[in-house]
Amino acid sequence: MKIVYLIFYFMSGVTLLACSTVNRHVEEMKNRPNTYLHSQLAPPLVVPSGMEHVPLLSDDIVPPGECVSEKMILLPPQSLAMKVEQGVISKKALKPLSSINLEEREGQWALILTDDRERVWDRLDKAFKDRLIPVLQKDKDRGIYYIVDIEPTKNKITLASPIYQVHLRVTQEQNTEVYLMNNQGHIPNKYVAHRLLLEINRGLQGDKLRELPKILKNFMSEK
């Protein structure tokens, strides 16, 4: 019997000790969020002399109500787009090359250029000079050139030389359309319009017509 009592007392003591340990751990868990109240300040960090201090954040002063915005550029370093972004070259360098199509719409021929009206106007001015097409007058606000067709009069300007209007207008696709009207404002003969627009197209493509020497011009005119 004594052995039984000894075992009983021993087990009771172990149980009480275990319960007290568990209770102590529970209290520690409850008080852990407040342990910072009893913490001590760490000594200030002293940077040794001779070492550079690089801030982790930018020292730029941002005005109140604004935030720092950073632009991430994902462009190849040596690409044309990167050079435009850096301001090395003009943005016009990224403009796609203009294409020119000669089309017939409702019985009227027209040149369709994938370019804005302002640039087409300047290009036409050069094209007329390169193809030796005489320009009598031009109205940039209305987008009209007045040209002389010298082919029917043996490449000479005479009173019989017909005058045509070269019009520019912007299409719904934001392209520029170049078409012809006669000097009375009517649709010209489509074969004449086709011939003149082909000649204008050659000038727009950079095909420069060389003027004949004066001696040859006089010789051909005599014939």
The domain that contains 166 carries what CATH number? Answer: 3.30.310.170
The verdict on residue 104 lying in a domain is: yes
Q: Is the pTM of this model over 0.85?
A: no
**190-204 vs 117-130: helix crossing angle, rounded to 10:** 90
Range of the domain at 8: 2-32
Give, for all 223 residues of the chain, the pLDDT tens digit: 545 445 554 555 545 555 555 566 556 655 555 665 666 677 777 777 766 665 555 555 556 665 655 555 555 666 666 777 777 766 655 555 568 899 998 889 999 999 889 999 999 999 999 999 999 999 999 999 999 999 999 989 999 999 999 999 999 888 999 999 999 999 999 999 999 999 999 999 888 877 655 554 554 455 5
The predicted-structure confidence for 137-175, as pLDDT tens digits, reads as follows: 999 999 999 999 999 999 899 999 999 999 999 998 889
Whether 182 maps to a domain, the answer reads yes
**Do residues 11 and 105 both lie within one domain?**
no
Q: What are the residues whose beta carbons fall under 8 Å from the beta carbon of 62, sequence distance 6 or more?
A: 68
Q: Would you say residue 72 lies in a domain?
A: no
Domain-embedded: residue 210: yes
Residue 62 located in a structural domain: no
Q: Is 27 found in the same domain as 118?
A: no
Residue 84, in any domain of the structure: no
Structural domains counted in the chain = 2
List, for residues 180-197, the tens digit of each pLDDT value: 999 999 999 999 999 999
Say if CB 128 and CB 203 are below 8 A apart. yes
pLDDT confidence of residue 4: 47
- Side by side, the strands of the sheet bearing 100-105 are 100-105, 108-113, 176-182, 163-170, 144-148, 135-139
Instruction: Judge if 104 and 22 occupy the same domain.
Output: no
Residues 6+ apart with CB under 8 A from 124: 145, 166, 168, 178, 200, 203, 204
